[in-house]
Amino acid sequence: MGVDYMVGKESWVLDSGASHHITPLYALFDVHSLSTSLRIIVPTWNTMMVDKIGTIRLSSNIKLHNVLHIPEFSCNLIFVHRLTHDLNYLVTYFAHNCDTRLTCEENDWLE
């Protein structure tokens, strides 16, 4: 299941079926590295080359690690399991949208 979210000026898809955070936007990366070539299978079942792996900051509260930079990818993708596991976010899906927030702080919504 995927739900679109706006974070700053960028649209992100919260995807519960993803295996990695992915973005085609190189300018978002604070830190990046890739020591060997890496190819992954994307949701369309195509294989794409990963250009970099790094860290991006979406807001003052959200820093994503091990984000794959794939220039040919068509959207920004947030892997929900990593968001909930690494950053302690709670993601609740409804029929047509979802809510996200830090579980340790009230009123800290992903916007």
Residue 107 lies in a domain: no
Domain of 54, in residue numbers:
13-102
Number of domains the chain contains: 1
How much is the pLDDT for 94?
67
Q: What is the 3-state secondary structure (H, E, C) of the chain?
A: CEEEEEECCEEEEEECCCCCCEECCHHHEEEEECCCCEEEECCCCCEEEECEEEEEECCCCCEEEEEEECCCCCCEEEEHHHHHHHCCEEEEECCCCEEEEECCCCCCECC
State the CATH number of the domain containing residue 47: 2.40.70.10
Please indicate, yes or no, if residue 3 is contained in any of the structural domains. Answer: no
109 falls in which pLDDT band (50, 70, 90)?
Answer: very low
- Reply yes or no on whether the pLDDT at 93 is more than 80: no
- The answer to whether position 19 is within a domain reads yes
Weakest-pLDDT range from 67-71, 84-88, 94-98 = 94-98
- Does residue 108 belong to any structural domain of this protein? no
How confident is the model at residue 47, as a pLDDT?
93
The tens digit of pLDDT for each residue in 7-64 reads 667 788 877 778 899 999 999 898 778 777 789 988 788 899 999 999 998 877 778 9
